[in-house]
């Protein structure tokens, strides 16, 4: 299943019960972190970009994948995001 999340990222739910979240909008740990909500919607509309994104994942029971110090990991490159998605998909 695919889900758009607040117009600033997406989630993918896999058959193995894990869901991946990739976010790159205001408030997320990415280069758009400090763009205000009003500035974001008026200046960027629905088409916006970022060179990095925030990633997270959780299982069907709501248990989050744990990075070293947090449940999310920010400022990930496209290659790092793809590797994370693949790793979660293969759990």
Per-residue pLDDT of 46-59, as tens digits, reads 567 899 999 999 99
pTM of structure: 0.88
Of 60 and 42, which is predicted with more confidence? 60
With CA atoms as reference, report the closest residue to 57 among 79, 70, 68, 72: 72
- Tell me what the mean pLDDT of segment 18-27 comes to: 94
Q: How many domains does the chain have?
A: 1
Query: In angstroms, what CA-CA distances link 36 with 40, 42, 58?
Result: 6, 10, 27
Whether the CB-CB separation of 32 and 47 falls below 8 Å is answered with: no
Using the CB atoms, write b or e for 2-27: b if 16+ within 10 Å.
eeeeeebbebbebeeebbbbbbbbbb
Residue 38 has pLDDT above 70, yes or no: no
Which residues span the domain enclosing 73? 2-89
């Amino acid at each position: 299943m695919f889900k758009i999340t607040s117009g600033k990222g997406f989630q993918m739910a896999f058959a193995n019960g894990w869901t991946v979240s990739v976010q790159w909008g205001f408030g997320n740990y990415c280069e758009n972190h400090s763009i205000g909500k009003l500035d974001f919607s008026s200046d960027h509309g629905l088409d916006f970009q970022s060179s990095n994104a925030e990633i997270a994942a959780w299982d069907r029971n709501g248990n989050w994948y744990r990075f070293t110090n947090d449940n999310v990991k920010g400022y990930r490159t496209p290659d790092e995001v793809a590797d994370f998605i693949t790793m979660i998909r293969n759990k």
